[in-house]
Amino acid sequence: MKNDNDLFYLCSLIEYIGRENKLKRSTVVEKLGMDTLKRIYKYAGTLHCEPIEKVANEYSEMKNIEKGTFDNVSKCKYEIPDYWTIGDVYGRLIEDICTGDEIETLKLVYESWISDAISNYNSDFYYQSRDYIAECFREKKII
């Protein structure tokens, strides 16, 4: 299994921006756009040297990402997973199912049903094994 730290950082940044702006993670991916996602991925090794709050704020301003109403954090009845934990869940899933371009696969994952399942912190889905999550994605994948 791969361990793509740049992908982990990008997914954690998406999670952070989503929480700060109260947006579904699919909306964050859409608003950032493919070119920006590719740029963040390419320069993640440098960007991670800055506080994630600063990077998130800069990209939110650059892409005019406005506040929404999706607040899965306040709806959580249990311990809230941190954005690094959720970034890791997405990153591992993308690694496990990717057969080509990582950013295309990222977009596919965030636009699918599984993004809502991972964002439901009142379920146990996000902390299931990586093999289980990948298999769930494969079984329900719509092309």
CB of 55 closer than 8 Å to CB of 70: no
CB of 40 closer than 8 Å to CB of 47: yes
Express each pLDDT in 35-73 by its tens digit.
999 999 999 999 999 999 999 999 999 999 999 999 999
The reported pLDDT for the residue numbered 2 is 56
Instruction: Dig out the tokens for 67 from the structure.
Output: 């506040």
The reported pLDDT for the residue numbered 79 is 87
The reported pLDDT for the residue numbered 76 is 87
pLDDT at 142 over 80: no
How large is the average pLDDT for residues 98-119? Answer: 95
Instruction: Dig out the tokens for 126 from the structure.
Output: 């996000």
Q: Domain boundaries in the chain?
A: 5-140
Express each pLDDT in 25-44 by its tens digit.
999 999 999 999 999 999 99
**Cα distance between residue 85 and residue 64, in whole Å:** 26
How large is the average pLDDT for residues 85-93? Answer: 96
